[in-house]
Amino acid sequence: MQSALLPQQVRAGRALVDWSQSRLAEGAGVSLSTIKDFEAGRREPIRASLAAIRSALEAAGVEFIAENGGGAGVRLRKGDT
């Protein structure tokens, strides 16, 4: 089971691959307002949208790091830098 996706992880993941909010919305097939509202903490997207956001960033080389007591995070997969 995948861990919850945090707004901070999405912002950091976009920064790692130099994507705008518009680029992520396009890549994930969700609206720009979905990305903006989620990153700003105004609302959480439906599960399918969260999965699409995660998948788009993972396809670009972002790896999501679970909480595991040390804080959730993101990094680029080795070889994707």
Tens digit of each residue's pLDDT (9 = 90 or more) over 45-73: 999 999 999 999 999 999 999 887 678 89
Residue 13, in any domain of the structure: yes
Residue 65, in any domain of the structure: yes
Q: Which DSSP state fits 2?
A: P
Give the domain range for residue 23.
Answer: 7-76
Taking only the tens place, the pLDDT of each residue in 5-27 is 999 999 999 999 999 999 999 99
Query: What pTM was estimated for this model as a whole?
Result: 0.89
What pLDDT shows up at residue 78?
84
**Structural domain count, the chain:** 1
Residue 52, in any domain of the structure: yes
Residue 71, in any domain of the structure: yes
Q: Residue 1's pLDDT band (boundaries 50, 70, 90)?
A: very low
Contact 5, 53 (CB under 8 A): yes
Contacts from 55-62 at CB under 8 Å and sequence distance 24+? 55/28, 56/24, 56/27, 56/28, 56/29, 57/10, 57/13, 57/14, 57/17, 57/24, 59/27, 60/17, 60/19, 60/27, 61/16, 61/17, 62/13, 62/16, 62/17
